[in-house]
Structure 1
Amino acid sequence: MTDETDATWWRQAAVYQIYPRSFADANADGIGDLPGIRSRIPYLRSLGIDAVWPSPFYPSALADGGYDVDDYRDVDPRLGTLDDVDALIADLHAAGIRLIVDIVPNHTSNRHAWFVDALASPRGSAARNRYIFRDGLGANGELPPADWTSAFGGPAWEPVGDGQWYLHYFAKEQPDLNWDNREVRDDFLTTLRFWSDRGVDGFRIDVAHGLAKKLDKTLPSQADLDATPKNNGGHPLWDRDEVHEIYAEWRSVFNSYSPPRTAVAEAWVESHRVPRYASPEGLGQAFNFDLLRANFEADAFRRVVEDNLALAAESGSSTTWVLSNHDVVRHATRYGLPEPTEPIEKHGHAWLLTGGVSPVLDAERGLRRARAATLFELALPGSAYLYQGEELGLHEVPDIPAERRQDPAFFRNPGVEIGRDGCRVPLPWTTDRPSFGFGAAHAHLPQPDWFASMAVSVQDDNPDSTLALYRRALELRRRLQTSEDLEWLDSAPDVVRFRRPNGWETIINFGGEPVELPAGTVLLSSSPLTGRQLPAETTVWLQQGPPAIS
């Protein structure tokens, strides 16, 4: 059972992200669902995580993988029912696992009742004021109000046929909400209470930096937007200071529960702007994606840790560590590509655009580095966010046929964007076709034949498997994480070494040659050791002094 009174559980939690449609399919329709997640709770418990975060499971046309929400207080019937949510919460809590739900407040779907009402209502109506409508330019409003480009490519303004246009910074099926409207703010407070009353433990806030906007009568050009700094709270669209007035209200709702509900912001902002999102008066914690974007290098990893621990100290929160999620190339693949001359996530994207043909992936090296990076991540103070399938060592699936792809980025930018489907392919649980144990039917995204060798059933009883490494690491971490202290220790070039409480030491060798291990009892290693040598691209956990654990 979970400790219902622990208000600080989130500070050093291991959180497992589930992409519901690709986790487990209980009703043989090829799509993962909530009963499928429930059926795998014994697996989640054996993994040793503290909380589960499913990506959105709300009713949706899936124009953006569920982030186009039709109704924030219901469940997509293809995934289950509200009764299934209640059962999932109860079963997770009985297994000692908490539940974090995804809130998508920047935009609804174009099928949301509010937007349907807006389209049926005249300009200037209260219904349209829930969204961001503007008159078009030209004699009859036939031109967009501005030349803005959406994040998924193409125009960010969509006409509605009466001379007005609505803003959609993402897909056209995702109209942006008007957060200057009190009705919008109150409705989301109702949503937060709705899920909190059902027993969810926290919330992940999508595009948390985008809610507050300042749009004058004359809109800036895209060039002017691009030239406007995003580091001072004055950008028209992003990270405005007023957004924190919204989150102060949310915090009042969170704190009305015992223990308070937690929240973590997905806020892509300048580093010095992060602490306000993570403050106790705001959402309480913010994602840190810097480790995900860092090259596999000693200086880069250490600098990321130093910078983000400092930011966490400034906010009074704990930081978060992420290596993979539903939006990026899996880290086992990123680390297996030739050394990049550009940011590592862009390098992985370029590889995907070739269908994974060029450059050539060194899959063995990528997995070796991924295992080392994971042990490094799990030894750090703060929360660790793990993405489904990384515990199996899964690589990205690069060669999905165009006709099977689902990500809107692929269709809106052909030849430029490949989309994120490659990290969202349903998991392999067994070696059996048609879907490697995902369900009784073919999966909604095609699974490659090589998934069979990485299935849960293959790794389950193999002490050298990546799954076994994650299980042991998470078990040790739970017992060793007694404070948030970290002490850097002297180390050789290409080596990073630090100490945590109880004499728990972590050493990672980023170099290409083995290095001598210091004294200490080996608790865990990401690659096999030979004597007292730490192999290249390997992390080891040591115990100094009397054993704190057995």
Structure 2
Amino acid sequence: MTGTAWWQTAVIYEVYPRSFADADGDGVGDLAGLRQRLPYIASLGVQGIWLTPFQTSPQVDQGYDISDYCDVDPLFGTLAGFDALLADAHALGIRLLVDLVPNHTSTQNVLFQAALASAPGSEARAMFHFADGPDAAGLTPPNNWISVFGGSVWDRAHPGSADDRQWYLHLFSSAQPDWNWQNPKVADYFDDVLRFWFDRGVDGIRVDVAHGLFKADGLPDAATVPTVIDGLRSNPMAMDQEPVHEVYRRWRLIADEYDPPRLLVGEVNLEPDRAGRYTRPDELHQTFAFAFARLGWQPAEWVAVGRQLEEARREHGGDPSWALENHDLVRTVTRFGGGERGAARARAALLALLGLPGAMYVYQGQELGLPEVDVPVETRLDPMWSRGGVSRDGARIPLPWTSEAAGSHGFSPAGAQPAWLPAPEGWGAWSIDAQQADGGSAYSAFTAAIELRAELLASGVFQASESTRWRLEGDGLVLCEREGGATVAVAMGDTPVRLPAGRMLCSSAPLLPDGRLPADAAAWVLRDA
């Protein structure tokens, strides 16, 4: 492949379908609702959509427990409805990425059901991780690993059975058994899944837990028992094993068979030096810059991580794929302090990332400056809450389309069932219709930045794969200098700052009368030659 691929400079919009738009009135978003709202996404000026899981699933983990990788869950629609959505997106010039979950499946998957029905040591069980415990009675799990959702990663295949005392492995919930990637038949299975979606015309795949898949040989105890939630990242026995790279070399060959080639982007929640290895020239095209996505409003950390990502890019290839929000993270408005100051910082951060080289992933509602919602305990549905005491529901509240409260602020049609998660009081203040009518809104700032970004790319001021130099100046001024002549400046201290010499292209807040950038604001500057 020669030239610049579309994804190298793309802005891609993450759609969490159950919270985007509800067409049938059952209180849960669906593909038909997304299809109706595609013109809104097109109006943002983005190049693609990443659609989180909509495949057949019992919804124990809200879709990340897939039981049939090649069909649509009735909760969201039909396969014909997906085809119509894809066709409409393409007609609007929008590419579509679908989520693939290769680390684990659902206990309802027919292959796992066959494994449960088979004897220990069978070919059916070899598709997953079944193991005996160290005690003859089968009362002790095979190792000390902790699930990301809390508790042991092991559950008995048949609790109470005197004949079958084996356990099965699940890094996430007990409803999500892990595939055994040591078995070549698992790789063959996923080759078929990949081709199924590519043959339908999808433009790429987002790979869930891409650094998982393989576990250390023999499944040894972890040296230290990981904490809940961090159970995967802090357990080197359960992730980032060397054979995983062969999977992505194999998938890259498949992706490159198509014309145009399909995009492979990985969720690799590792430090930059390790994550960068997944974007070597024959592996994934992109990985999310998770070291950046986890940051707060911390200038020294921004510069340190920016430098690490630049070093990884130079060593391994593959530009960073910037993100600060997704369906698993606390919204930046809240993470950066909440209230007016948190909102200003979130707007500045969004502008800053749009000014950096590489792709940018935006989570639905981020363009509106939505805050994290403190969902009442009795209405929380995230399985991580029930098992691990952490809820991600606050970032998954259905989008407010209208300032009027009817249909959960336009998320559902009038007279619909209540939304699957309740909107908080005053949610309409952040609505799309209100912000589209307000030239000073977060939405208006976002769309203006997207438009300017496209102009700068077209004119060559911004270019794909530019190197960067990160610096921290006095008063908390973060500078990222692009080699093409543009600088992204972020005032992360408590006082206004002087911008570098040059022509200001845009800013997230008006400059002060003396030309300084206010605190909690960002700007793009074209440096003097």
TM-score for both structures, normalised by structure 2:
0.91
Q: Quick check: 1:480–1:502 contact (8 Å CA) kept in 2?
A: no
Structure 1 equivalent of residue 126 of structure 2: 129
Match of 1:426 among 390, 394, 398: 398
Deviation (angstroms), 1:489: 8.4
Structure 1 equivalent of residue 365 of structure 2: 389
Range that drifts further, 515-524 or 181-190: 515-524
Superposition map of 1:156-171 within 5 A: 156-161=153-158, 162-171=164-173
In structure 2, give the amino acid aligned to 1:373: A
Once superposed, what is the RMSD of the aligned Cα atoms? 2.4
Match of 1:485 among 466, 474, 477: 466
Q: Quick check: 1:7–1:259 contact (8 Å CA) kept in 2?
A: no
Q: Quick check: 2:268–2:290 contact (8 Å CA) kept in 1?
A: no
Deviation (angstroms), 1:312: 1.4
Listed one character per residue, the Cα deviations across residues 179-233 of structure 1 (whole Å, up to 9, x for unaligned) are 11111110100011010011111111111111112342xx533445659xx9xxx
Listed one character per residue, the Cα deviations across residues 74-133 of structure 1 (whole Å, up to 9, x for unaligned) are 111110111111111111111111111111000110001111111111111111111110
Structure 2 equivalent of residue 107 of structure 1: 104
2:27 counterpart of 1:30: yes
Structure 1 equivalent of residue 89 of structure 2: 92
Superposition map of 1:398-409 within 5 A: 398=374, 400-409=375-384
Deviation (angstroms), 1:274: 2.0
Q: Quick check: 2:145–2:152 contact (8 Å CA) kept in 1?
A: yes
Q: Quick check: 1:480–1:501 contact (8 Å CA) kept in 2?
A: no
Q: Quick check: 1:149–1:222 contact (8 Å CA) kept in 2?
A: no
Taking the aligned partners of 1:154 and 1:226, their CA distance within structure 2 comes to 11
Taking the aligned partners of 1:58 and 1:155, their CA distance within structure 2 comes to 27
Taking the aligned partners of 1:269 and 1:393, their CA distance within structure 2 comes to 27
Structure 1 equivalent of residue 11 of structure 2: 14
Listed one character per residue, the Cα deviations across residues 394-424 of structure 1 (whole Å, up to 9, x for unaligned) are 00011x22332111111113xxx23101101
2:196 counterpart of 1:220: no
Deviation (angstroms), 1:518: 5.0
2:359 counterpart of 1:377: no
Deviation (angstroms), 1:163: 0.8
In structure 1, give the amino acid aligned to 2:192: T
Structure 2 equivalent of residue 542 of structure 1: 525
Q: Quick check: 2:18–2:28 contact (8 Å CA) kept in 1?
A: yes
Structure 1 equivalent of residue 446 of structure 2: 470
2:184 counterpart of 1:182: yes
Structure 2 equivalent of residue 334 of structure 1: 335
Range that drifts further, 449-458 or 528-537: 528-537
Q: Quick check: 1:12–1:318 contact (8 Å CA) kept in 2?
A: no
Taking the aligned partners of 1:434 and 1:25, their CA distance within structure 2 comes to 9
Taking the aligned partners of 1:37 and 1:478, their CA distance within structure 2 comes to 25
Structure 1 equivalent of residue 116 of structure 2: 119
Q: Quick check: 2:170–2:178 contact (8 Å CA) kept in 1?
A: yes
SS in 2 for 1:74: strand
SS in 2 for 1:150: coil
Taking the aligned partners of 1:292 and 1:175, their CA distance within structure 2 comes to 28
Q: Quick check: 1:279–1:285 contact (8 Å CA) kept in 2?
A: no
Structure 2 equivalent of residue 238 of structure 1: 239
Q: Quick check: 2:280–2:318 contact (8 Å CA) kept in 1?
A: yes
Range that drifts further, 58-67 or 476-485: 476-485
Taking the aligned partners of 2:387 and 2:244, their CA distance within structure 1 comes to 29
Taking the aligned partners of 2:151 and 2:177, their CA distance within structure 1 comes to 14
Structure 2 equivalent of residue 514 of structure 1: 496
In structure 1, give the amino acid aligned to 2:466: D
Structure 2 equivalent of residue 207 of structure 1: 209
Taking the aligned partners of 1:132 and 1:184, their CA distance within structure 2 comes to 12
Taking the aligned partners of 1:315 and 1:91, their CA distance within structure 2 comes to 36
Structure 1 equivalent of residue 161 of structure 2: none
Taking the aligned partners of 1:136 and 1:304, their CA distance within structure 2 comes to 42
Taking the aligned partners of 1:541 and 1:497, their CA distance within structure 2 comes to 10
Structure 2 equivalent of residue 344 of structure 1: none
Alpha carbons of structure 1 residues 245 and 543: separation in structure 2 relative to 1, 3 Å: closer
Q: Quick check: 1:23–1:426 contact (8 Å CA) kept in 2?
A: yes
Alpha carbons of structure 1 residues 517 and 213: separation in structure 2 relative to 1, 3 Å: closer
Q: Quick check: 2:271–2:290 contact (8 Å CA) kept in 1?
A: no
Alpha carbons of structure 1 residues 517 and 276: separation in structure 2 relative to 1, 3 Å: closer
Match of 2:72 among 67, 71, 75: 75
Match of 1:533 among 493, 516, 520: 516
SS in 1 for 2:443: helix
In structure 2, give the amino acid aligned to 1:443: A
Deviation (angstroms), 1:148: 2.5
Listed one character per residue, the Cα deviations across residues 326-378 of structure 1 (whole Å, up to 9, x for unaligned) are 11110110001xxxxxxxxxxxxxxxxxxxxxxxxx41110011111111111
Q: Quick check: 1:20–1:37 contact (8 Å CA) kept in 2?
A: yes
SS in 1 for 2:50: strand
Q: Quick check: 2:86–2:96 contact (8 Å CA) kept in 1?
A: yes
SS in 2 for 1:515: coil
SS in 1 for 2:237: coil
Structure 2 equivalent of residue 494 of structure 1: 476
Deviation (angstroms), 1:501: 6.8
Q: Quick check: 2:333–2:369 contact (8 Å CA) kept in 1?
A: yes
Alpha carbons of structure 1 residues 272 and 517: separation in structure 2 relative to 1, 3 Å: closer
Taking the aligned partners of 1:134 and 1:489, their CA distance within structure 2 comes to 49
Deviation (angstroms), 1:53: 0.3
Taking the aligned partners of 2:142 and 2:516, their CA distance within structure 1 comes to 64
Listed one character per residue, the Cα deviations across residues 132-161 of structure 1 (whole Å, up to 9, x for unaligned) are 101234333233222332110012111122
2:270 counterpart of 1:287: no
Alpha carbons of structure 1 residues 79 and 331: separation in structure 2 relative to 1, 3 Å: same
Structure 1 equivalent of residue 142 of structure 2: 145
Listed one character per residue, the Cα deviations across residues 401-448 of structure 1 (whole Å, up to 9, x for unaligned) are 2332111111113xxx23101101110000222400001222100101
Superposition map of 1:281-360 within 5 A: 281-336=282-337
Deviation (angstroms), 1:167: 0.5
Structure 1 equivalent of residue 408 of structure 2: 435
Listed one character per residue, the Cα deviations across residues 294-348 of structure 1 (whole Å, up to 9, x for unaligned) are 2323322222222112211222211111111111110110001xxxxxxxxxxxx
Q: Quick check: 1:516–1:534 contact (8 Å CA) kept in 2?
A: yes
Superposition map of 1:45-56 within 5 A: 45-56=42-53
TM-score for both structures, normalised by structure 1:
0.88
Q: Quick check: 2:310–2:468 contact (8 Å CA) kept in 1?
A: no
In structure 2, give the amino acid aligned to 1:150: S
Deviation (angstroms), 1:544: 5.2
In structure 1, give the amino acid aligned to 2:369: G
Alpha carbons of structure 1 residues 517 and 147: separation in structure 2 relative to 1, 3 Å: closer
